[in-house]
Amino acid sequence: MKRFREFRKTQEIRDRYADVPPILAGDFIYPYFVTEGENVKEEIATMKDIYRFSIDQLLDDIEDTLSLGIDKVLLFGVIPDEEKDERGSAGYRPDNIISRAVRAIKARFPQVIVFTDVCLCEYTSHGHCGLLHNHDVENDSTLPLLAEMAYQHAVAGADFVAPSAMMDGQIEALRQRLDKEKLPTKILAYSAKYASAYYGPFRDAAGSAPSFGDRKSYQMDYRTKNQGLEEIAADIEEGTDWIMVKPALAYLDILYRASQQFPDYPLVAYQVSGEYSMLINGAQQGLFDEKRIFAESLVAIRRAGAKYIISYYAKKFVKNHLS
């Protein structure tokens, strides 16, 4: 009989034998929703303690985020419905909301590493991630628009552009445009992004729910186990710098396999809106302790191989466990 309980007797002993690298503040990428207007800080109904910020309020909140040691942020644009059109043109015009936010952040906090979401869904009147033809999302005609959006973000000073539309060839389209313009901006690929029910609160936050149908024709089927790795390999071949698995908790197997198969590429996992709200709401209902459930969940993501974690809980985690 081998006595494993000897490894667990006290907290000191448990700490000594913990073999998962700790999560540090610098391992987090904190997501923000940026909206038009001034002095706007609007809580999102489906995501407790998460807000839509106007740019002035965004800067104040980033100051707090930076004080915790979190130096990476991911920006999503939120615009009024009347500014949306079928082509999502508000997302890639020179004065788009994200480019303005990037310029403001870089002017005040040049040390912050800024990632920007590149997708049409927040800006199209129909809510889909690409151009439509007879109610089908057209892949190839969408690529130049994604490349233009990435270009505008890069010119504004974004450190990374993160295309999330799940159009075939999107990394190649962005890479060619950035290289042509001799821009140093890197690419974080939403490589293995699944058509997931866990995105519900995000679509409320960003106003990006599709007006008809769903996104299963371009986001990945969760019943597959190899396509995600094939998508990652394709994005690497097309020139991405970092790779991602999204969502996180329901796809830890994919995350682990990606970490083993692509060890030379920084691997990001996205603890998405539904994961956040599910755990927050469960804690509020007394089902479990909030600090413990998030610590366990985030460590599971790290244990599966993520180098960086996008999480709406990042600031609370740092305050609860690292401060």
**Which residues are marked as active site?**
193, 246
* 238 φ, ψ (degrees, to nearest 5): -80, -10
DSSP-assigned beta bridge partners for residue 118: 163
Given the structure tokens 């990037």, which residue do they identify? 102
The CA distances from residue 172 to 144, 176, 237, 245, 265, in Å, are 11, 6, 9, 19, 17
